[in-house]
């Protein structure tokens, strides 16, 4: 993280159980959320400087973790996710998106909310939904990709890694499930929504996040 200049790093598939946080020998903070068995799991790593300005965190389950950080010009309300795979039943996928939606509804109105992580989705290239996707998706969309696009439309989110023209091998990760194409798309999205909430006074700082952010309304972010 230090070498790459990253202050906040989201991790999916930790396969850790339980939830909590700890500090590394170098001073970074690791916040994690898992289940009762070694399955799924998510985490957020904070640099030593950012760890000092964390406001709060909420370990929802083995697929969803919320971390709130004091930042400038907006506090950051980050939801790290690991969506069910294509083999999961539709009911599990619907439950996952409902839980993420509930967190977005709870986002303080003055916060910059980001949803980042592994959505296990393929939204495809050259989509017509310019309010949700950029022109640099990959291949043909799958059912989970359509579900992600629908969710973004409903919640004012934008799939930001479809905006930047990267080599195809950098648009997917993990082992391709379709020969030669890859079906796992790591996406980050953001939104400003929710009601008011009290804030704990803390120093502010500019942050560099490992995934590109976007905006709705007046909020903005940069890599």
- Can you give the residue range of the structural domain that contains 120? 8-191
CA distance 1 to 104: 27
pLDDT tens series, the chain, 223 aa? 888 888 999 999 999 999 999 999 989 999 999 999 999 999 999 999 999 999 999 999 999 999 999 988 899 999 999 999 888 999 999 999 999 999 999 999 899 889 999 999 888 887 878 888 888 887 788 899 899 999 998 988 888 888 877 766 665 655 444 433 333 444 445 444 333 333 333 343 444 444 333 333 333 333 3
Total structural domains within the chain: 1
CA distance 35 to 40: 8
**Nearest-5° Cα angle at 215, 189 to 128:** 65
Note whether residue 197 is domain-resident: no
Q: Hey, CA dihedral for 185, 189, 195, 196, is it positive or negative?
A: positive
Q: Which residues pair with 69 in a beta bridge?
A: 54, 76
pLDDT value of position 165 = 79
Note whether residue 215 is domain-resident: no
CATH number, position 144:
3.60.10.10
Residue 61, burial from CB neighbour count under 10 angstroms (0-12, 13-18, 19+):
middle
CA distance 223 to 132: 19
């Amino acid at each position: 993280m230090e070498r790459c200049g990253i202050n906040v790093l989201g991790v999916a598939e930790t396969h850790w159980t339980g939830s909590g946080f700890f500090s590394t020998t170098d001073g970074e903070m690791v916040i994690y959320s898992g289940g009762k068995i070694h399955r799924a799991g998510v985490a957020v790593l904070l640099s030593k400087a950012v760890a000092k300005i964390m406001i709060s965190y909420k370990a929802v389950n083995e697929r969803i973790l919320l971390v709130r950080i004091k930042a400038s010009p907006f506090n950051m309300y980050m939801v790290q996710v690991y969506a069910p795979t294509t083999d999961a039943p539709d009911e599990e996928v619907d439950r996952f998106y409902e839980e993420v939606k509930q967190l977005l509804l709870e986002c303080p109105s003055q916060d910059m909310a980001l949803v980042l992580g592994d959505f296990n989705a393929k939204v495809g290239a050259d989509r017509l939904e310019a309010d949700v996707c950029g022109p640099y998706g990959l291949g043909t969309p799958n059912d989970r990709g359509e579900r992600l696009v629908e969710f973004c439309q409903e919640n004012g989110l934008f799939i930001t890694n479809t905006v930047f023209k990267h080599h195809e091998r950098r648009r997917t990760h993990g082992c391709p499930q379709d020969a030669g194409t890859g079906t796992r798309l790591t996406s980050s999205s953001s939104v400003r929504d929710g009601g008011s909430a009290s804030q704990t006074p803390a120093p502010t700082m500019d942050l560099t996040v490992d995934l590109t952010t976007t905006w709705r309304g007046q909020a903005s972010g940069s890599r």
